[in-house]
Amino acid sequence: MGHNVLLVDDSSTMRKIVGRSLHQAGLDFDNIYEAADGLLALEVLEKESVDIVLSDMNMPNMDGISFLKEKANRPNMKDIPVFMFSTETGDDIIGEAKALGAVGAIKKPFTAHMVSEVLGPFLK
């Protein structure tokens, strides 16, 4: 497919599950990078070419909202699209994430079909 993705979640289990769901959804990436929080995600984005970021909201050190704010201030990465994968899907929180540049959100728990429906059109 020619895309690189960055998975940001403090749970290694969840990073594996998201990676597996992408594969099951038929969304195979050239490279799947991983980061355990927003700070580490910024480090990856500084070094690697990433086409899309899938990020958790509730993380240590730098949470999803702070990550979006910091990313928006860095010209070299501000246009990389971010989808939020989170248990927290209240309207206010998702609204804030979208105002900070998130292009969509997927609620945990999710199925590979849900991942395909949300990300598939975006990656075509």
Angle at 40 (CA atoms; ends 84, 30), nearest 5 degrees? 70
**Cβ-contact 89, 69 below 8 angstroms:** no
Q: Verify binding: residue 108, another protein, rule CB under 8 A.
A: yes
Query: Both ends of the chain: CA-CA distance in Å?
Result: 9
Secondary structure of residue 55 in the 3-state scheme: strand
Q: Verify binding: residue 97, another protein, rule CB under 8 A.
A: no
Q: Verify binding: residue 20, another protein, rule CB under 8 A.
A: yes
Q: Verify binding: residue 86, another protein, rule CB under 8 A.
A: yes
Give me the least distance between CB of 71 and another protein, in Å please: 21
The rounded distance, in Å, linking the Cα atoms of 112 and 85 is 13
Give me the least distance between CB of 23 and another protein, in Å please: 11
Give me the least distance between CB of 15 and another protein, in Å please: 10
Q: Which residues bind another protein (CB under 8 A)?
A: 10-14, 16-17, 20, 58-60, 86-94, 108-111
